[in-house]
Structure 1
C-alpha cells in the first residue's frame, strides 16, 4: 500500500515531464527555429571553376586567292590562335555578283552597303574578311572595318595585320581577357576605357539637362523631343540595354568655375576644373526616381560675361566624367560674331548637340574608339554591327562574372550567419539564376551571342534580387543570446519544479534497493 502511494505521488511530475518532452520542447523548437530553404551550395561552389568561356566565332574569308594559289587562307588560319575564342574559318572566292560590285564601286562605302550589309547581316557574331580592289582603299596595304560585320583588305595587306584587327579591334580579345581576370591579378587593373564605362544589370537612365544660368539675358529653347526621336533613339534602340531618356531645363544655376566670377571676357578652363564645378549642381540633376544607374548629359550655356567658354584640349568643347556623364559647353557668342543685343533668343542646334551626345554615350557605354583611318564613317545609327556584337559578348561575360561573385557572396553570408531566414522565394531565384547562367555559357560556346546576353542578364537580375531580398534581414539582428534572454524568464519558473521533481524521482529510485 505504501509503495502504491509513492508511485501515485510521482505520476503527476512524470506525466508533466513527459508532456513537456514530447510536446512542449518540440513545439517550442519548431516555432523558434529559423526557416532556411535548401540552396544548391554545391552548384554555387562549382561556379569558381568557370575561369573563362570559350566563345564560338564563325569567320568567312572572301578572296580571289581561293581560286588560285590559295595561300591567304592557310596564312590567316595559322594566325588565329585564341584561348577565349573558338575560331572557325571558311574560305571562298567572291560570287559573280560580288565581283561585279567590287569592280564597279566608286567607294568602299558603296561596297559596304551593296555587299557587306548582306554577307553576315542576319548572323550576329560572324565576321567577314573581304578582299577589295586597291583603288578603293587609302593605301595598297591598308585595312578598313566596315559598318556591318566586314573587314576590307587588299591583296597587299599582310595577313598579320588582318588577324590583328580581327582579334584586337573587332573581337576585343585583350579587353575580354581582362574581364575574366581575378580582381587580385595584376592584369586586371582597370583601363581608361573601363573606368569610363557604366555598368548595369540591364537598364540605365539617361538624364538630359540644359543649364541656363541667366535666362533674363538668354532665352534658350531646344527641340529635345525631336532630337531624341531622330538622333538618340536609333542608337539607343540597338544597344543591348533598356535606356529610358528624361530631360529637364534648369534655370538660374551656374557652375562655380575657378576664376570664372572674376573679370569678364573669353575664358579657357581645364576639364578637371569643370568637373569639380559640377558638384554645386549635382543635387539638381539627380531628379530621376528610378533605382537604376544613371548617366547625365549636360548642355551648359555660359554666363554673358564669360562667353565664349572653352575647354582646354577639347576639339568639340566637351568633356567626360568617368561613369557619371558628359558636359558640352554651348557657346552662342563667338569671336568675330556680330554684337548681340540682350535679351536674345537662342535656339540650340540639336543636330550638333545630338552628335556630341552620341559620341559621349558611345564612350560611357563602353564602345571602343576606332581610328578613323581604319574604319568607314559611322552610320547614322551610331553603332556598327560588329560593335554591337562585341557589346553582346562582353556584357554577357561581365554578367556571368558578376553572377558568380554575387552568388558566392550570398553563400558565404548565409554560412557565416546561421540565423538569416532563407525563404522559398530566395531559393527559387537562386535556382533560376543558376539555370540561366548555364544557358548563357552554353549559348556563348555555340556562338549565339544574342541569346547568351539575354540569359546572362536574366541570371544577374535573379541573383541580385536574391542577394538584396529584404527578408534576409528579418532576423539578422536577433542573435541566439537574445533569444535565450527572452525565453529563459518563461521557462525557468516552469522548469525549476520539474527539475526538482526529477531529482526526487531519481532519489526514490536509488533508495528503493537499499530498503530491500
Structure 2
C-alpha cells in the first residue's frame, strides 16, 4: 500500500508540475500580444513643444557694387534681429547676414544662395528679380549719411524677400493659418497627378495637339517645380459630356456660385485611376450643338490672346481643391482639330493657377518673384511636414495607450525610431547657419517627405489599422471551458493527495491493525478448509 500511495503522489505532482511549469507559461506566451516599446516620453515632449529644438537659420550674403562697407553685414544683422524680435515667433528663425564670398558664390553656386546687392541710385527702393534669389536694394547718398541704409536693407529682407516666413512663422500668423486655412489648395504631397481632359458635348470626332503643347509649354514648368513636386500627366477626350452646362444656355448673368451648383464633376473625377495621393484636373469643355445651339451666352471673356482656329472665346474658373475649368462659349464643329495656338494660352493660365492650387501663392500677384517664393515654400513645407509628423506620432501614441491589448509590431517601433532620428538630422541642418543653398533645401524637403511617410506608415500599419487586439475578457471567455475543468481536476487531486500525506500516524496504525486482524481471520478460515501455506487439499469420499 505504501508503494501505491507514493506512486499516486508522484503522478499527481507530475501533472501539477507540467500544468504549472509548462502549460500556464505556454498559454500565456501564445495569448500575449507583442507590444514594442515606443519612446513615449520623447514624443510627448515634442507634442507639447513641437519646435523646441528648432531655430531655422537662413544665410544671406550682402554685396555692395560701388561703395565699400566693411561692417555693413554687422549693422544689418542688428536691425534684422530687432525686427524679428518684434514679433512672437511660433517657429524660431533668423537670418545670418554674411559678407559677400566671391569664391563660394561663383560658378554653379552663383544663384544658390540669397544675395543682397546694394546699388547707388537717385532714389531709395528695392527690386526682386523673377528668376533669381537676389534682392537689389537701391540707395542714395543721403541715406548713407543718415545711416538709414542698414535698417532699410533689413526691412526689405524681412518684409519682402522673406515675407512668407515673416507672416507664417509668427505666432499670430500660425494661428490665423490654422483658423482660416486655404480653401483652394490641396494638401501638399511630393507626387501629384495631372489629368487633362477635352470634353465635347456632342459625339462628333475632334482632335487636339495636346502632346506638342505639353512638351513645349508644360515640360519646362514641370522641370522648374521638380524640386517641390513631381507631376504625372494623362490626357483624354470625353464625348457627350458638357458637365450639365447646357442647363445655363438661356442665362446671361451667371456667377461662380451658379456654376458650382450646376457642374457635375463626379464622372470626370472617377474616370481615371492614379496611384498618387493627390490629383489636379484641367477640363476644357465645349457645349453641345444640339443642347446649346446658341452656345453659352454667359461666357463673354476672351481667354486667349487672339481668336484661334476654333474661333471661340473661353473663361477660366478655379475649382477649389480640384483644378481648373475652361468653359468655351460655342460648340465645336465636326472634325475640328484644336491647334497649339488655342491650347498654349490655356496651358499658360493653368500653370499660373497651379501655384494657387498647390498653395505656393494665395494670389497671382504673389508670384512676382517666383524663385524666392518657391524657396520660401520649401522651408515652410519642411516645417509643416515636421509638424504633421509629430501630430501623427502623437495620434499613434494615444491609440496605443487607449487599447492596451493592441499589438505594436517591431516594424512600427523601427519606423518610429528612424523617423525621430531623421527629424534630428533635419533639425541639425536647419539650425546650421552655413547651410542654405538650393541643394540643401531640396535635400531637407526630401527628408521631411520621408519623415511624414515613416510616421504615416507606423500609424497605418496593417496590424494597427485593423486593431488586431485580444482583450483579457475574451481570453477568459475562450479558454475557460478548456482550462476550467483541467484546473479543477488537478487541484482536487492535489488537495486529496496532500490530505492523505498529512494523515496522523495513530490513524495509520489503526488502519494497519485492522488489516492484520483481517489477514489473521482469513488465515483461520483457510486452515478450516485444510488450505495450508496456500495449497488447497481436496478430499474425495470413497465408498
The residue matched to 1:238 in structure 2 has which SS?
helix
Deviation at 1:345, TM superposition (A): 1.9
Say yes or no: does 1:51 pair with 2:54.
no
What is the Cα deviation at residue 412 of structure 1? Answer: 1.6
Q: Which runs of 5+ in 2 are unaligned?
A: 305-313, 509-543
How many equivalent pairs are there? 465
Instruction: Provide the rounded CA distance (Å) in 2 between the counterparts of 1:90 and 1:273.
Output: 55
Where 2:196 maps in the other structure, the secondary structure is: strand
Q: 2:353 aligns with which of 357, 360, 375?
A: 360
Is residue 498 from structure 1 mapped to residue 459 from structure 2 by the alignment?
no
Query: Map of 1:115-154 to 2, 5 A cutoff?
Result: 122=109, 126-132=113-119, 134=121, 140-146=123-129, 147-154=131-138
Q: Secondary structure at the match of 2:98?
A: strand
Change (3 A) 1:195 1:371: closer
Q: Secondary structure at the match of 1:288?
A: coil
Correspondence list, 1:334-353, <5 A: 342-343=333-334, 345-348=336-339, 349-353=342-346
Moved more, 451-460 or 35-44: 35-44
What residue in structure 2 maps to residue 274 of structure 1?
259
CA drift at 1:70: 7.3
Distance (Å, rounded) in 2 between the aligned partners of 1:371 and 1:143? 20
Deviation at 1:415, TM superposition (A): 2.0
Matches within 5 A, 1:301-312: 301-304=286-289, 305=292, 306-310=295-299
Equivalent-residue separation in structure 1 for 2:249 and 2:443 (angstroms): 59
CA drift of 1:129 comes to 2.0
2:429 is matched with which residue: 419, 424, 443?
443
For 1:311 and 1:175, how far apart are their aligned partners in 2?
38
1:244 to 229, 232, 249: 232
Do the aligned residues in 2 keep the contact of 1:119 with 1:128 (CA within 8 Å)? no
The 5-angstrom pairing of residues 10-89 of structure 1 reads 10-48=9-47, 49-51=49-51, 53-64=54-65, 66-67=67-68, 74=75, 77-80=78-81, 81-82=83-84, 83=89, 84-89=92-97
Quote the Cα distance in structure 2 between the aligned partners of 1:134 and 1:396. Answer: 38
Cα separation, partners in 2 of 1:195 and 1:120, compared to 1, 3 Å: farther
The answer on whether the counterparts of 1:120 and 1:127 sit within 8 Å (CA) in structure 2 is no
In the TM superposition, structure 1's runs of 4+ consecutive aligned residues that sit over 6 Å from their partners are: 68-73, 118-121, 178-182, 311-316
- Cα distance in 1 for residues equivalent to 2:407 and 2:249: 64
Corresponding residue SS for 1:195: coil
RMSD of Structure 2 on Structure 1 (CA)? 3.7
Aligned pairs (5 A) from 1:214-253:
214-216=202-204, 219-239=205-225, 240-253=228-241
* Change in 2 beyond 3 A, CA 1:70/1:302: farther
**1:408 deviation in Å?**
1.3
How many Å apart are 1:75 and its aligned residue?
5.4
Contact map agreement 2:195 2:281 (CA 8 A) in 1: yes
Q: Deviations over 1:285-338 (max 9, x none)?
A: 2312315111122222234433354389999822222322221223458xxxxx
Pairs within 5 Å for 1:286-297: 286=270, 287-297=272-282
User: 3-state SS of the aligned residue for 1:500?
Assistant: helix
The equivalences for 1:161-180 within 5 A come to: 162-171=153-162, 172-177=164-169
Determine the structure 1 residue equivalent to 2:512: none
- Is the Cα–Cα contact under 8 Å of residues 253 and 298 in structure 2 kept in the other structure? yes
Contact 1:270–1:311 under 8 Å retained in 2: no
- Please name the residue that 1:114 is paired with: none
Q: 1:57–1:126: 8 Å Cα contact kept in structure 2?
A: no
Deviation at 1:180, TM superposition (A): 10
SS of residue in 1 equivalent to 2:230: coil
